[in-house]
Homo-oligomer: A and B are copies of this chain.
């Protein structure tokens, strides 16, 4: 498997790319408390409406936002599914940072001088994916 999960590939590309921009993250945050029109989403920023519209299109392309055209205004709403996918993707690595915390915890609990290795923490955390 190319990716460690069933996820199609370019989907995550778009989601993470959309998330990599602070303007778009702020828009998501705004959408987290309810539907917003394009103007409402654009209002907090100094950029032009067309500029904000592009950001919203990026969020749409990533599947993070859907649009409901209601009259002359476009209602945008959060679509959490893809966010959940990204979260799930990151969860794969969760064992990694919890393992590291466990190792640190264990190290702190036994202060024996014999156990003093150079600061090169666990290098092979069980290769279970090859």
Contacts and interface: CB of A to CB of B under 8 A. Distances in A.
Contact of A3 (B3, B25, B84, B120): B25
Interface string A72-109: 00000110110110110011111011001000000000
B93 A33 contact: no
Interface in A37-90: 68, 77-78, 80-81, 83-84, 86-87, 90
Interface residues of A, number: 47
Given A83-B93, A91-B87, A9 B33 contact: no
A73 to B, nearest CB: 14
A96 B120 contact: no
A91 B91 CA distance: 11
A68 B100 CA distance: 18
Given A13-B20, A25-B12, A33 B83 contact: no
